[in-house]
Structure 1
Amino acid sequence: MQKVFDKIQSLEEIPGFSKHERLVQGFINAIDEKLLRQGDMLPSVNNMIKETGFARETIVKGYKELIERGIVEAKNRMGYFVANENTNQKLTIALILYAFDSVQETFYNTFRAALGADVHIDIYFHNNNIEIFETLVNKVAGRYGMYVVAPLPNPKTAEILKVLPINKFLMIDRFEQMEGDFSYVVQEFEQSTYNALIKLNDTIKQFDEFVFFSRPDSDAPKEILASFKKYVTGMQVNHSIKSKYLSGSVEKGKVYFLTNDTQTWMLLKDCKKQNLVLGKDVGVLSQDDDPIKELICDGITTYSTDFSLMAQKAARFVLTQEKVRDVIPTILIRRNSL
């Protein structure tokens, strides 16, 4: 370890280098020259004070920057360790999403492009499982410079997220209330769903029945079901709620509302088999838009938030660390299917 201290001290001769910069660059040089390898333990703060003569605040600031760049990680009650030998990156981000579907892919691609090459992203998926979510949050805590998290609705979520530094944390996609003045860029489900259905009301009423598929154990927001019930009750629409679409069960004269893409594709396949004309024989409304829904079957009507805009705002927060509290609007996109 003496060679590492020598690296830090050797930078004293460089004009304009602060003690903080000397400490950070000294460790980087030691890693680049293989004096330190991934998994190696760094000196404690007290040991650094003794060997370098730097103030405690300077050393803590230096270790904090190395953590934010993903080069060093802090392990609770154990100390600081080399986490990554790639010292060129300026910042590392833990990105926790639901799953890698087309919507999340749109978010990720825009987010990745907006951040630039110097930022490293590690991506994790919790698949709407609270145990996996808790494991992931505990795993990333203390290892990254920023944390961008799509939470899941669960009574334990707010408590789980407490381990993340609130000034380095951004909530995306769905809003979950938690303590502190935290930042978020999210979408809204209840009022936006109701508004979309009201705009479609005249068309929906041309069909015999409005069928909504709502799986009790799905990751679809519960607010959507609440809005559906409010709409059909208030507008006196003949309706039914089913747990899932069964292959071959599509019927002429009905309009179908789906939040799951796999079931949407099944229904569209059945429409084609039975020569049912979308928008005339059968109506289809799908949550969340993507390029496929614009092209398939001459266009599927959707209502969706702008996930590219959400990603751009998330990237801005990461790069500027300016507090943000935005709800991205949800818009109805009318196409051939309804």
Structure 2
Amino acid sequence: MPLLDRILDLQNSHLLSKHEILVQSVVDAIGDNEFQVGDKLPSINIMVRDVGYARKTIVKAYEELKDRGLVESKNKQGYFVISQETGVVLRVALLLFAFQSFQEDFYNTLREELGKKFQVDVFFHHNNISIFETMITNIKGKYGMYVIAPIQDDAVKPMLQTIAPNKLILVDRYLDLGPEYSFIAQEFENATYSTLVKLLPDIKKYKSMVLFFNSKTDYSPIGIRRAYERFLKDHGIKGSIEENYISGTIKKDTLYFIKNDSILWTFLKDCNQGHCVLGKDLGILSYDDNVLKEIIMGGITTISTNFKEMAKIAAKYVMDGNEIRTIIPTNLISRSSL
């Protein structure tokens, strides 16, 4: 059935608003293969002429179709069909650092909270500004909502500000885009420092402390390093910073602060082979909790936020659009590794 006939049929029902009639007519046409991926929709001017609705009504309908991820607008060329998934209410672009275990928790919870009517496509930028820019360029204008863990660098601000504030929420890391943008983030420096102070009696059991920190490979925020350096200075703790762990270099009577899970698993393997007892021969403090850290080798003490709660708040924003600007608390999860 031609699109115009679909519109006329729905007009006779008197149950839908004008913009809802337009949206449903196009959705039905796509669902019936009248429009396929790559096809161009009638221009706004043609719709104004043939249907008789106001220009702003037609623009509103086409923009809703964009939000659903069914069409995209190409500058000066018009609107084109990009998906035939008409059962989807909204397409969501999720841009994360990498598929680490704690970000997997975030992703799975977000999917579960949104349900089947929301299509979530996940992308990774690996803390690389060039990749980040390419990703933003490729996904911009093709999704109804963007959930993005940003690189904490001023260079990415203009990229993110090309997305409308009501279609973007920043998660995990904070980046100041202006008062109109929503975020759910962690705070690293003060939270890490206060946790280390809380652990001071345990830390003093060890002769020295080592932080493995490499912002390029493990995406660690600089706030963790600053907190660690301030803690060592303020409390007279002997400590150092290493970019990478070299297998076989474990030292007893040392507390190791490990952010990178890849380093942690290699380190624990060496501990096991060397028959080291965590919390006695040496200590381990980690970041970002997951189920493995809860059970492996008696449990790993962890500084962590609640990524599942973060995902639930993000999902609520995607569904209702109510502005949110909040810092998720960071918690100490004490286990036997100290």
**Structure 1 length normalisation: TM-score?**
0.97
* In structure 1, distance between residues paired with 2:8 and 2:80: 20
Secondary structure, in 3 states, of the residue corresponding to 1:246? coil
Residues 201-220 of structure 1 show CA distances to partners (whole Å, capped at 9, x for unaligned) of 11111111101111252310
Whether 1:102 and 2:105 are equivalent positions in the alignment is no
Instruction: Specify the SS of the correspondent of 2:184.
Output: strand
Whole-angstrom distance in 2 between the partners of 1:283 and 1:127: 29
Match of 2:7 in 1: 8
Distance 2:67 2:283 in 1: 50
RMSD: 1.2
Aligned to 2:321: 321
Distance 1:239 1:184 in 2: 34
Partner of 1:30: 29
1:14 shift after superposition: 1.3
Q: Distance in 1 between matches of 2:30 and 2:332?
A: 52
Per the alignment, residue 274 of structure 2 pairs with 274
Query: For 1:138-287, what aligned pairs fall within 5 Å after superposition?
Result: 138-218=137-217, 219-287=219-287
The separation in 1 between residues aligned to 2:77 and 2:224, in whole angstroms, is 46
Distance 1:26 1:316 in 2: 28
The residue aligned with 2:297 is 297
Assess if the C-alpha contact under 8 Å between 2:215 and 2:221 holds in 1. no
Deviates more, 1:178-187 or 1:318-327: 178-187
TM-score, normalised via structure 2 length: 0.97
Deviation (angstroms), 1:193: 0.4
Equivalent AA in structure 2 for residue 110 of structure 1? T
1:19, 1:217 → 2: CA distance? Answer: 52
2:224 partner SS? helix
Alignment partner, residue 337 of structure 2: 337
User: Which segment drifts farther, 5-14 or 124-133?
Assistant: 5-14
Q: Aligned partners of 1:321, 1:337: CA distance in 2, in Å?
A: 42
Q: How does 1:115-154 map to 2 (within 5 A)?
A: 115-154=114-153
C-alpha change, 1:216 and 1:53, in structure 2 (3 Å) is closer
Displacement of 1:106 in angstroms is 0.2
Q: Secondary structure of 1:156's partner?
A: helix
- Alpha-carbon shift at residue 50 of structure 1 (Å): 1.1
Q: Which deviations, in whole Å up to 9, do the C-alpha atoms of 1:267-296 show, x marking residues without a partner?
A: 111111111110011000001100000000
Give distance in 2, aligned partners of 1:308 and 1:128.
22
The answer (yes or no) to whether the contact 1:138–1:163 under 8 Å persists in 2 is no
- Secondary structure at the counterpart of residue 227 of structure 1: helix
> d(CA) in 2 for partners of 1:206 and 1:180?
45
Instruction: Give the CA deviation at 1:76.
Output: 2.8
Aligned-residue offset at 1:113: 0.7
10-19 or 137-146: bigger deviation: 10-19
Could you tell me which residue of structure 2 aligns to residue 51 of structure 1? 50
Deviates more, 1:29-38 or 1:283-292: 29-38
Task: Tell me the SS of whatever aligns to 1:217.
Answer: helix
CA contact (8 A) 1:257 1:286 kept: yes
Residue 160 of structure 1: CA displacement? 0.7
1:109–1:216: structure 2 CA closer, same or farther, 3 Å change rule?
closer
Deviation at 1:313, TM superposition (A): 0.3
For residues 274 and 76 of structure 1, the distance between their equivalents in structure 2, rounded to whole angstroms, comes to 63
SS at match of 1:27: helix
What residue identity is the alignment partner of 2:261?
A: D
Segments of 4+ moved more than 3 angstroms: none
Unaligned runs of 5+ residues in structure 2 are none
1: distance between equivalents of 2:223 and 2:253? 27
TM-superposed CA distance for 1:179, in Å, is 3.2
Question: Cα offset for 1:180?
Answer: 4.5
Rounded to whole Å, the distance in 1 between the matches of 2:290 and 2:190 is 22
Q: CA deviation at 1:181?
A: 1.1
Q: Is 1:158–1:179's contact at 8 Å kept on the other side of the alignment? A: no
The separation in 2 between residues aligned to 1:131 and 1:9, in whole angstroms, is: 48
